[in-house]
Amino acid sequence: MTTTLERTIPPFKNEAVKSFGDPADAAAMKAALVLVRERFGRHYPLVIDGERIETEKQIRSLNPARPTDVVGSTSSASKEQAEAAIAAAARAFESWKRRSAQERAAFLFEAAAKLRERRFEYDALLVYEVGKSWVEADADIAESIDFLEFYAREALRYAQPQPVVPIEGERNELVYIPLGVGAVIPPWNFAGAIMMGMTSAAIVSGNTVVLKPSSDSAIIAAWFVDLLHEIGLPKGVVNFIPGSGSVIGDLIVGHPQVRFISFTGSKEVGLRINELAAKTAPGQKWIKRVVAEMGGKDSIVVAADANVDAAVEGVAVSAFGFQGQKCSACSRAIVDAAIYDEFVAKLKDRVAKITVGDPADQGTYMGPVVNEAALKSISEYIEVGKKEGRLISGGKRAGSEGYFLEPTVIADVDPKARIAQEEIFGPVLAVIKAKDFDDAMQIANNTEFGLTGSLYTTDEQKIARAKEDFFVGNLYFNRKSTGAFVGAHPFGGFNMSGTDSKAGGREYLLLFTQAKTISRKI
């Protein structure tokens, strides 16, 4: 049976990521970089109940490639303003929850259309605000569009009659209703996609939101909130409260009117949120729901029978794409002893070809790390790594201005060494020698995380074994460990990598809803 939904809305399809090989795309990107640079220094206030509110305290967003460039600034919410935003979201919930799924989904479709129109501008903003290369920036915005398109369709799917077993003498139904006010707390690394994905999933399900962006990427969040209001999203549905996580984070998470927290970020902050949210505040009527996607320490296992060249390419791209600042980045290559020396030699040659520089230049592969604190902490890990293994490539800062680091490879690392266990979140790869495939699988599972993993092999038995034993939320074979596509690779990790929410998957919206069973005697 063809439903109304299937007749009117085409099936979801991933947005193609631009390679910029087409001169028209490259020209459009160059023009967008100029345009966005002209907007540097603009100020973006808080948005509470549709009102723009200026504060004396501000958050400045710097270009990590040229930290003297102020990409923009936002106001910074006080605790009182965070409370006002939660109150506004609670008021708006009363009417927003009554809108139909069709109406709510229409906002997401409209937002996706606007984003497509301004795609190069958003790409350019990501280049400047977080240091993404052109292709990485475009992949982030393509994913943002995908989330909007995907979750809109998902909301419509969940609004359809849900299957329940028929019982004589009764008419039974199950409907998904929203939760209430949600706190959306995204990271800076997928500053477009994760921020828009988390926000849109919450609102399309009928919830209202206080959005506290990462202090490193608040400008793109301000643009998105402006876009939502431009398309007529009712005031109070998304309230924008940039502010330091350490100042307003606890208040938001612990507030009795907040029904759920949707968080993506580090393990440390995620665990703190989980603990705080478990405490019942006076006046609170529910158990808060926490969706927390956290860190990773992801491995690529290279078996003795693997295509070594393909494995080298997969490892290099997974380790150094966006400077290794992806939760899915490969930070451990676990290589069978039989091919270890060949792998390390080829990896060194491959890494030597990586270009590091200003991501505003089209040819740059690796840009800067996000901020000075990241530069410092990653540099400290490199020093630790030099003692824990053999430095093969990189190991130093690159350039004088900006937060640039060389792609760094450290070989002969013990599986229990710090750089093999702790999330570094930068361009540092540990190469670990495994005695055989059994040993490699054990090493692969020896961290507290469980986000992504990949195995290079030509052996079906090893594939079958890894399907059972490689304990990660996203497992790949003979391909990189990064680059999950919405709908195709629902994303989320095990253990200390989080609550396995599977963003971009069919179960995701269930996290933002509760089911109501309605039975009527007939």
Of the candidates 104, 54, 75, 125, the one whose C-alpha atom is nearest the C-alpha of residue 228 is: 104
The minimum distance between CB 485 and ligand NAP, in angstroms, equals 14
Give the residues across from 475 on adjacent strands. Answer: 453
The minimum distance between CB 500 and ligand NAP, in angstroms, equals 9
Contact predicate 20/29, CB 8 Å: yes
Contact predicate 270/404, CB 8 Å: no
Of the candidates 100, 119, 103, the one whose C-alpha atom is nearest the C-alpha of residue 159 is: 100
Distance in angstroms (rounded) separating the CA atoms of residues 336 and 355: 29
The minimum distance between CB 499 and ligand NAP, in angstroms, equals 9
The minimum distance between CB 293 and ligand NAP, in angstroms, equals 4
Q: Which residue number, 64 or 296, has a Cβ lying nearer to ligand NAP?
A: 296
Q: Which residue number, 121 or 293, has a Cβ lying nearer to ligand NAP?
A: 293
Q: Which residue number, 350 or 502, has a Cβ lying nearer to ligand NAP?
A: 502
Which residues lie closer than 8 Å to 334 by C-beta, 6 or more apart? 299, 300, 301, 302, 415, 432, 434, 440, 443, 444
Which tokens is 329 given? Answer: 């980045």
The minimum distance between CB 261 and ligand NAP, in angstroms, equals 8
Determine whether 327 is an active site residue: yes
The one catalytic residue among 15, 121, 293, 423: 293
Q: Which residue number, 276 or 339, has a Cβ lying nearer to ligand NAP?
A: 276
Determine whether 293 is an active site residue: yes
Q: Which residue number, 64 or 187, has a Cβ lying nearer to ligand NAP?
A: 187
Q: Give CA separation, 14 vs 119, 146, 228, 325, 485, in Å.
A: 15, 6, 22, 23, 7
- The four Cα atoms 501, 504, 505, 508 give a dihedral, to 10 degrees, of 50
Site of interaction with ligand NAP (CB under 6 A)? 185-190, 194, 212, 214-216, 244-246, 249-250, 253, 264-266, 269, 272-273, 293-296, 327, 423, 425, 451, 491, 493, 497-498
Distance in angstroms (rounded) separating the CA atoms of residues 388 and 373: 23
The minimum distance between CB 315 and ligand NAP, in angstroms, equals 18
Contact predicate 312/282, CB 8 Å: no
Q: Which residue number, 247 or 398, has a Cβ lying nearer to ligand NAP?
A: 247
The minimum distance between CB 70 and ligand NAP, in angstroms, equals 17
Distance in angstroms (rounded) separating the CA atoms of residues 433 and 435: 7
The one catalytic residue among 15, 83, 110, 327: 327
Amino acid sitting at position 346: K
Distance in angstroms (rounded) separating the CA atoms of residues 109 and 92: 21
Q: Which residue has its beta carbon closest to ligand NAP?
A: 249
Q: Which residue number, 130 or 411, has a Cβ lying nearer to ligand NAP?
A: 130
Tell how far CA 383 is from the center of its chain: 28
Q: Which residue number, 154 or 293, has a Cβ lying nearer to ligand NAP?
A: 293
The minimum distance between CB 452 and ligand NAP, in angstroms, equals 9
Contact predicate 395/387, CB 8 Å: no
Helix axes 79-96, 245-254, angle to 10 degrees: 40
Terminal CA-to-CA distance of the chain, rounded, Å?
27
Backbone angles phi, psi at 51, to 5 degrees: -90, 140
Amino acid sitting at position 270: G
Distance in angstroms (rounded) separating the CA atoms of residues 198 and 262: 7
Residues annotated catalytic, as ranges: 293, 327
